[in-house]
C-alpha cells in the first residue's frame, strides 16, 4: 500500500512537471530545435532523479551509445524506455503515429525534434520525405528510433517483430543498432504501481547495412529478445514463468 501511494504521487507529479517544463521551454523550443531537445532532456532527467528517491527506480544505460546516422530498433515496454533512449542519444527522433502531433505539449516538441509522423500504410512516403529533407539540408541527421514490435509489450509476453523495421533498414541504407530493455519490470505499460529496482536500457552491437531482409529480422529478434530476457532476469523477473 505504501509503494502504491508513493507511485500515485510520483505519477501525478511527473505529469504536472511535463506541463510546467513544456510551457516554460516553449518559446525557446519554437525558436530553436536545440531548445526543444533541451526541454525534453531536462524533463527526462528530472523524472530519473525523482523516481530514484520517490519510488526506488534507478535508470542505467549500458553499451556503446551511437552518435552518427543509424537506425535504432528498440524493444518497448513503457514510457520510461522512451525517455532513457532519447536522453542517451545526441540527436534522437522517433517514428510515431501521426495523431501524436495533435497532442498538447507533446505534439509541439515532436514537430521541433523532427520526429517522423506516419499514417497507416504510408510509412514509406514519410521515410522517403525524411531522407530527402536530410539530403537537402532542411532536416538535421540523427538517430531514427523505431519500435520493432509496434507497441509496448509487457515483460514475458511474446509479440512478433514487424517487417516495417526491415523495410526501413533497407530504405535508409544505414547500420541498425538493436536496443534491449527490462524497464517494464519496474515501470509497467499500464497501471500506477512502480517497483523498486534498476531499469536498464542496453545498446547492443550494430548490425551492418545490406543484410537480407529475413536474415536481418531473425537476427534482430533473436538479439533483442535474448538480451532483454537476460536483463529481466537480472531485475528479478523470469520472462518464461508466465508462458
Residues 5 and 83 in one domain: no
pTM above threshold 0.85 = yes
Residues 48 and 71 in one domain: no
pLDDT at 121: 55
User: Which class for 114: exposed (0-12), middle (13-18), buried (19 or more C-beta within 10 A)?
Assistant: buried
Per the domain annotation, does 242 fall within a domain? Answer: no
Per the domain annotation, does 100 fall within a domain? Answer: no
d(CA 132, CA 91): 18
pLDDT at 176: 96
- Parent domain of 8: 1-55
Give the CATH number, domain containing residue 169: 3.40.1130.10
pLDDT at 85: 97
Q: pLDDT for 136-184, tens place per residue?
A: 444 566 899 999 998 899 999 999 998 888 988 888 889 999 999 999 9
Residues 76 and 25 in one domain: no
Handedness of CA 225, 97, 72, 51 (dihedral sign): negative
Instruction: Name the stretches of the chain with pLDDT < 70.
Output: 119-141, 242-243
Residues 69 and 164 in one domain: yes
Per the domain annotation, does 221 fall within a domain? Answer: yes
Q: Which of 72, 82, 48 is nearest to 184 (CA)?
A: 82
Residues 152 and 211 in one domain: yes
pLDDT at 137: 41
> β-pairing, 176-181 with 197-203?
antiparallel
pLDDT at 118: 76
Residue-wise DSSP of 11-54: HHHHHHHHHHHHHHHHHHHHH-HHHHHHHHHHHHHHHHHHHHHH
Per the domain annotation, does 19 fall within a domain? Answer: yes
Residues 192 and 86 in one domain: yes
Per the domain annotation, does 131 fall within a domain? Answer: no
Residues 50 and 149 in one domain: no
Per the domain annotation, does 125 fall within a domain? Answer: no
Residues 202 and 230 in one domain: yes
pLDDT at 138: 46
pLDDT at 122: 57
pLDDT at 13: 96
Amino acid at each position: 500500500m505504501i509503494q502504491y501511494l508513493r507511485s500515485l504521487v510520483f505519477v501525478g507529479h511527473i505529469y504536472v512537471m511535463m506541463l510546467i517544463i513544456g510551457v516554460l521551454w516553449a518559446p525557446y523550443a519554437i525558436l530553436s530545435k536545440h531548445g526543444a531537445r533541451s526541454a525534453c532532456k531536462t524533463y527526462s532527467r528530472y523524472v530519473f532523479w525523482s523516481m530514484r528517491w520517490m519510488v526506488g527506480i534507478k535508470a542505467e544505460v549500458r553499451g556503446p551509445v551511437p552518435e552518427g546516422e543509424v537506425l535504432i530498433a528498440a524493444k518497448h515496454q513503457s514510457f520510461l524506455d522512451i525517455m532513457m533512449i532519447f536522453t542517451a542519444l545526441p540527436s534522437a527522433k522517433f517514428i510515431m503515429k501521426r495523431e501524436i502531433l495533435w497532442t498538447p505539449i507533446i505534439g509541439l516538441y515532436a514537430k521541433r525534434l523532427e520526429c517522423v509522423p506516419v499514417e497507416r500504410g504510408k510509412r514509406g512516403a514519410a521515410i522517403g520525405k525524411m531522407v530527402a529533407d536530410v539530403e537537402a539540408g532542411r532536416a538535421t541527421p540523427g538517430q531514427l528510433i523505431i519500435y520493432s514490435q509496434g507497441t509496448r509489450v509487457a515483460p514475458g509476453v511474446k509479440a512478433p517483430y514487424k517487417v516495417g523495421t526491415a523495410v526501413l533498414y533497407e530504405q535508409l541504407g544505414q547500420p541498425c543498432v538493436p536496443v534491449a530493455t527490462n524497464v517494464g519490470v519496474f515501470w509497467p505499460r499500464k497501471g500506477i504501481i512502480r517497483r523498486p529496482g534498476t531499469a536498464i536500457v542496453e545498446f547492443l552491437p550494430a548490425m551492418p547495412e545490406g543484410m537480407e531482409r529475413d536474415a536481418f529480422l531473425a537476427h534482430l529478434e533473436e538479439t533483442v529478445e535474448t538480451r532483454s530476457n537476460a536483463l529481466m532476469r537480472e531485475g528479478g523477473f523470469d520472462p518464461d514463468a508466465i508462458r
